[in-house]
Amino acid sequence: MKKRKITAEDLLKMKFVDGIAMSPDEAEIAISVRTVAEDRKKYFSHIYMIRSDGDNLRQFTTGEVSDSLPVFSPDGQWLAFTSKRGEKKGLYVMPRHGGEARLVSDMDGGYGDLSFSPDSKKILCTFRKNDEVPKGKDGKKEHPVFRHITRMFYKMDNYGFYPKEESQIWTFNLKDGAGTQLTKGGYSKSSPVFSPDGKSIAYLTNVQKNPDLDTDLIDIFVIPAGGGKARLVDTPKGPIAAVKFSPDGKWIAYLGHDNPNDSWGVTNYHVWKVPIRGGKAVDLTKKLDRMCVDETISDTVEAHSSGLLHWTPDNRWIYFVVSDAGATNLYRVSASGRNLETVLAGKQHIMGSSLNGKCTKIGLVISSHVQPAEVHTLDFSKRGAKQQKITGFGKWLTDEVMLSKPEEVIFRSTGNYPVHGWIMRPPDFKQNRKYPSVLQIHGGPRVQYGNTFFHEMQLMAASGYVVYFSNPRGGQGYGEKHADTITNGWGTVDYDDCMAFADFMEKKPYIDRKKMGVTGGSYGGYMTNWIVGHTNRFAAAITQRSVVNLESMFGSSDIGFHMPREIFGTPYSNHDSWRKMSPLTYVKNIRTPLLISHSEQDLRCPIEQAEQLFISLKMLGRTVEFVRYPDEPHGLSRCGRPDRRLARLEWFLKWFDRYLKGKKR
């Protein structure tokens, strides 16, 4: 069968693997799979089950529901998960071998961090109660008369306004669903986990007087399993993202670092361990100059968990993932810290992982440039590790569609600095032709582009564009020094690196130097704005969910008050830096035809950022158009309503076709 080019509508057919859980006997894997509804206006997600040898893939839950966060009970008899059925989200369990889902709790709020007690009799989780919403005479929910705000951290993108009540730790009896709230008051609790003997629970929280300012001062506490006085576990000051008891109950492993004054994600999260009964915490991966979490971004998933952290049952090893030079790979470190080993590495993106039981098998969700996420297993039960892909959710795509496999390159920027990038050519590329091109710039800034499937880039390449993307200085995956170079210096060496890539590409014989475009979202939108404010070399640009005016973003963004850590002061204490680094300062220089793409419910880079840029450019008489997406959050390209994701892609092709191909659509 002759293969065809990818289309925007192919996005509607994709099955997105959002999470996995290995059963305690390592015989089966539960998979959370998200699909697009027929009306193109929402998603459904269901749980699938498959044997770890790849046999008997079957859909475990059905209906117009959103089921997620599957977790097995230690005795292997039950699967717990959260589910949104109608307007309410609840906690459910099902027999592992099939049957009806049983509601455990339908308290109105958000459930997270699910796990079981060691005896499989209780489900442990966090729960945040929703505020009571008034209803009109017709029974429909109404907006409150007013909102009384007392904290800076009162809203979050893709969530909205936070309820007044913080997340607390609960247990629910599996037998009768009786719930017990174990913590009260204070600030939100997270990552609860039972000790191996079931007598204690460890969790994370921030107990600072102003946690909104001291966001990286996270502590580990341990409480009796039935509730009671919490005991602080002594760790260095800094952020903590996950906790796991050692099987012998003597240690807690966690992900974090010891730099509470870190900028926006510069300092590497490492694997640490700390004794339960007092003693010094130890950084087990101190010599590893990489993040021990997944920092690779894709448009097939909204966000990733803090990362894998799992002890082997003999207390000897801890497994985790590492972001390194465009890949997310699997590692392990000995509990002594003396041995650090790469378990599985390659041109890949490990998006999810699960270990259980004897740890002779590992379940992995892996993506690559030409393969959407699929479930793999890594089997250690026989001599040598055997990797096997056991699902084929995207087989139709790889069978039917011509996909472009990027060329990996290293180019040199200012100071002869090496920068890692990729070039994606049209799938029917001809060497003797000249092509229009688009420079893609990632957000963050402290994330990385890498070896993962990107529908948008494949679509642009299939539409006749050479797409090129890289990891400029300021991002992650190349060490702390690389990440720190733009702290209090956005628009410096990061700009140099982007332009160096454009220089590199301009010399290619197949590139039409008069038809080069640029785009990026979030921080990538910032850099797009910065570029067109400092050079006219690009024939067209699209800025997405972008940063325009850092000073107004300080007060309007859901996390804007964190920015003084990155810019060394507030707009009123370090005004010059905030103005100097704001693209709006250079708006008079912008003459590149610019499309502004922004979501109206973006709380990370609020719509006012786009509005300032649009009005300024219109006042200056420049070529600019503005596309707004109602009701959508910051991550429209990853999790937005499917029909609006398609509209966004259509607008991108319209704009670049108009200015880089001379076509009107």
Looking at the annotation, which residues are catalytic? Answer: 522, 634
Any idea what DSSP says for residue 448?
Answer: B
Dihedral angle sign, alpha carbons of residues 447, 451, 452, 453: positive
77 burial (CB, 10 Å; 0-12 / 13-18 / 19+) is middle
DSSP H helices, 455-492, are 455-462, 480-484
Would you say 43 and 36 are in contact if contact means Cβ atoms under 8 Å apart? yes
Q: Which residue has the tokens 């649009």?
A: 614
Q: How many Å is the maximal CA-CA distance in the chain?
A: 74
Name the residue among 451, 616, 605, 457 with its Cα closest to residue 533. 616
The kind and range of the H/E element at 311 are: strand 310-311
Structure tokens at 87: 């307007």
Q: CA of 656: how far to CAs of 170, 357, 510, 517, 621, in Å?
A: 52, 52, 18, 7, 20
Name the residue among 196, 252, 188, 199 with its Cα closest to residue 225. 199
The kind and range of the H/E element at 516 are: strand 511-521
Return the ∠ at Cα 190 (arms to 185 and 193), rounded to 5°. Answer: 115
Structure tokens at 501: 């890539």
Count the Cβ atoms, other than its own, within 10 Å of residue 416. 6
Would you say 97 and 88 are in contact if contact means Cβ atoms under 8 Å apart? no
Name the residue among 316, 318, 313 with its Cα closest to residue 358. 313
CA distance 389 to 378: 9
CA distance 404 to 455: 11
The kind and range of the H/E element at 601 are: none
The string of DSSP letters for 237-280 reads SS-EEEEEE-TTSSEEEEEE-S-TT--SS-SPPEEEEEETTS--
CA distance 643 to 629: 11
**Within 13 Å and on the Cβ side, how many CA atoms surround 180?**
14
CA distance 490 to 557: 18
Name the residue among 572, 574, 596, 573 with its Cα closest to residue 584. 596
CA distance 540 to 532: 9
